[in-house]
Structure 1
Amino acid sequence: MPLPSLPPLQMQQDGPSLSELMTALPVATLVVRPDNGIADANVRAETLLNMARSAIIGSDVARTVRIAEAGARFDIWHSNKPIAAYDIKVHAGRTAEMEVDLMISPIVDHEGWRVVSIHAQGQARKIGHRGTAGGARSAVGAAAILAHEIKNPLSGIRGAAQLLETSNGGSDAALTQLICNEVDRIAALIDRMQDFTTDRTLECGPGNIYPLIDRASHIAAAGFAKNVKIIKRYDPSLPFAIINDDALVQVMINLLKNAAEALEHVEQPCIRVETAFRHGMSVLVGDRKGSAVLPIEIVVIDNGPGVPEHILDHLFNPFITGKRDGQGLGLALVDKLVRDMSGFVQYSRDQEAGESTFRILLPMGMG
């Protein structure tokens, strides 16, 4: 079956044809008909699927790109909505099981027709990295043990230091104060680690995200980001999101702090906080939970140098950091809190623009 008549591309008379554009696309791309038959495929798709184009065209996309999780019920091939499936295991053509990022985009004005792009994991990490769900959870056991074994004795050390200062008539005030300050610092670190040990469900409900984003921005501007220009670009028509107020404020503070620290050596540091409504945006959440509609988007963009390449694969894991004095807990906590709100967080880097983006997607609430 031939492709439908698409609106002509606006380009110079001697510009590339549609088939030439398909060939030039840097990722494996399929054009899928309403009946799920594959109408076209580019060279990258031939390589990824290990199949000739003649064998790909006409085949059923659900059989050609098969979800690998046994018992999974992902209805991704019978939806007219955009779907982004990150870190999903598939059997692609004649290749072995692999992890990919799968993007499905409906073709406007051609009902049922879709463009499917398949980003192999090596490429997907560069295009837009997303850590796995196990990152934040991997610290739960360690945090619980440390909280129990370290935090309780700290109160005894602090009390002993205060008694020492009293018994010496204040002669060693500087030394005892140093002990108290260091104990308080360690206790604060343990408190942050204990955020990972709770399995309680966040109480979430429909809420206006803007007062919460503004509160976090004010805190940032008054403290750790006082020398950074913060620009806000809000979609005024954005509906309520399903959120926990305190959790969203903490998420925004952590992301703004992360951005501000990345801008330490930038001549004209700038952070942009933007919101948008992504109509029909769905994310495949894995663990056999199917897809989630997450149309509320919050992005924090900075013009810093970006995340070091060697930690990209573990960016949202605890204790992973590119900063000399960093603890590696901020982004892991962001990941946990966003997931607790049934959302999704992703990092991407635009090398051409010289910008790093942390994107939060949240479910919509009625309000």
Structure 2
Amino acid sequence: MNKERFQGLELLATAVVVSNPDGVVLYANLSAETLLEVSRRSLDGQALAALFVEATAFREFLRKSQLDPFGVKRQVFELIRPSGTAEHVHVTLSCPDGAHGATIMELREIEQQLKVDREARMMDQSLANKELIRNLAHEIKNPLGGIRGAAQLLEVELPSPELKEYTQVVIKESDRLQTLVDRLLAPHRKPHIVSMMNIHEVCERVRSVILAEHPKGLKFIRDYDTSIPEFLGDLEQLIQAILNIVRNAAQALAPKIADGTAQITLCTRVVRRVTLNRKQHRLALDLQVIDNGPGIPEEIMERIFFPLVSGREGGSGLGLTLAQTFVQQHEGIIECSSTPGKTLFKVTLPLQFDHATS
């Protein structure tokens, strides 16, 4: 069989397996090899039904698909993997030539589909938040200068120091709001300066800042993959993004820092064939920030990246919002999972080495 006609399927992030009319594998793309945890050489000549726990049900599913050459059949089956891990997948069959031609089978991990949907919702929500923040910040900023200026002029005219205390309250609160607005607008003001950078320089800069703030009681564990190459990114933006995440972790660890048991782990790895925001990338950086703190309250877990949402008394609720904005400007994503004793923030960034690479 001439397999060259299937080479275009190598570019797909979706696992695709092609079989003959008897349901025997003729070809599998690289994504299928990864999903099934079996080499393509081992798949050649194997029955499609042997890939699934429900082999009899799959054979019936295949038979019905071949009877309807103009239709596309979908069903959920459980894979058989050498590692023994269970995985339910969406199976889509199409038989354009009916029972006498090849069958094209697509496999999609249910969890992967949920992840894609979740990323899409996060991106839509982030864009809406960004537009809301910009408009709101500008609406606050314009009258704020006038309020502060009027308070200063009024202060000059007031005869007694006691009355001037009230104008000082107005001026100080105006300055506090101005600082808040400036932080909201910061990601949209600074240009995105891209150059070759090292992720471990980012981690070490962040680590040194946090240790300066907490010189005692906090232990950092560095689990670095030093083979990760330099890649294109905005060094200052990524330092700020990771600093915001790690600083949040340190603040949540305050009781453990006091008794000397606080711990933050910085872990870097390379992951392959990653889909971010509906776009596939050959290589990506996986940076994890793990702390042994009390965990994020369940009632705010789904909203931690929203502006002005904070689980800490006196927190501004902007740190994670800004971190997410900076990471998204690098076409990446931040994910979080949390239980008492372990909170994990995972930053995934596509590794780009030149402006033409995706």
Short-chain TM bin: 0.5 to 0.7
For the structure 1 residues 120 and 322, does the alpha-carbon distance in structure 2 shift closer, same or farther, using more than 3 Å as the test?
farther
Whether contact under 8 Å (2:90, 2:110) holds in the other structure is no
Which residue is equivalent to 1:283?
274
Output one character per residue of 1:246-300: Cα deviation in whole Å (capped at 9) or x when no partner. 111110121012112222333445342424332x52322244xx31234323221
Whether contact under 8 Å (1:31, 1:39) holds in the other structure is no
Which residue is equivalent to 1:238?
228
The aligned runs of 1:72-221 (5 Å cut-off) are 92=90, 118-119=110-111, 132-168=122-158, 171-172=161-162, 174-195=165-186, 202-221=192-211
| Deviation for aligned residue 1:65 | 7.1
| Deviation for aligned residue 1:350 | 5.9
1:249 aligns with 2:239: yes
Output one character per residue of 1:97-132: Cα deviation in whole Å (capped at 9) or x when no partner. xxxxxxxxxxxxxxxxxx98533889x79xx99972
The structure having more radius of gyration, on CA atoms, is 2
Task: State the secondary structure of the residue aligned to 1:304.
Answer: coil
| Deviation for aligned residue 1:30 | 6.5
Of 304, 315, 337 in structure 1, the residue corresponding to residue 293 of structure 2 is: 304
For the structure 1 residues 277 and 140, does the alpha-carbon distance in structure 2 shift closer, same or farther, using more than 3 Å as the test?
closer
Please say which of residues 336-345 and 140-149 is displaced more in the overlay: 140-149
Whether contact under 8 Å (1:30, 1:39) holds in the other structure is no
Which residue is equivalent to 1:87?
none
In the superposition, the TM-score normalised over structure 2's length comes to 0.62
Distance, in Å, in 2 between the alignment partners of 1:316 and 1:56 is 42
| Deviation for aligned residue 1:303 | 0.8
Whether contact under 8 Å (1:269, 1:304) holds in the other structure is no
Whether contact under 8 Å (1:38, 1:59) holds in the other structure is no
Whether contact under 8 Å (1:207, 1:242) holds in the other structure is yes
Output one character per residue of 1:155-193: Cα deviation in whole Å (capped at 9) or x when no partner. 222223333444447824544433222111111221222
| Deviation for aligned residue 1:57 | 7.0
Task: State the secondary structure of the residue aligned to 1:346.
Answer: strand
Which residue is equivalent to 2:31?
none
Percent identity of the aligned residues? 28
Query: AA paired with 2:336?
Result: Y
Distance, in Å, in 2 between the alignment partners of 1:170 and 1:365 is 63
Whether contact under 8 Å (1:32, 1:39) holds in the other structure is no
Query: How many residues in Structure 1 have an aligned counterpart in Structure 2?
Result: 276
| Deviation for aligned residue 1:140 | 2.7
Distance, in Å, in 2 between the alignment partners of 1:136 and 1:333 is 11
Task: State the secondary structure of the residue aligned to 1:305.
Answer: coil
Whether contact under 8 Å (2:310, 2:316) holds in the other structure is yes
Distance, in Å, in 2 between the alignment partners of 1:359 and 1:285 is 13
For the structure 1 residues 140 and 286, does the alpha-carbon distance in structure 2 shift closer, same or farther, using more than 3 Å as the test?
closer
| Deviation for aligned residue 1:145 | 2.5
Task: State the secondary structure of the residue aligned to 2:111.
Answer: strand
Unaligned runs of 5+ in 2: 1-34, 63-71, 77-87, 93-106
Q: Flag the structure with more relative contact order, 1 or 2, with Cα contacts below 8 A and sequence separation at least 6.
A: 1
Query: AA paired with 2:349?
Result: L
1:343 aligns with 2:343: no
Unaligned runs of 5+ in 1: 1-28, 43-51, 67-89, 95-114
Distance, in Å, in 2 between the alignment partners of 1:175 and 1:218 is 41
| Deviation for aligned residue 1:341 | 1.1
Whether contact under 8 Å (2:120, 2:277) holds in the other structure is no
Task: State the secondary structure of the residue aligned to 2:171.
Answer: helix
Whether contact under 8 Å (2:272, 2:283) holds in the other structure is yes
Which residue is equivalent to 1:295?
284
Please say which of residues 249-258 and 236-245 is displaced more in the overlay: 236-245
Distance, in Å, in 1 between the alignment partners of 2:112 and 2:272 is 21
Q: Which of the pair is proportionally richer in helix? A: 2
Query: AA paired with 1:132?
Result: M
Task: State the secondary structure of the residue aligned to 1:283.
Answer: strand
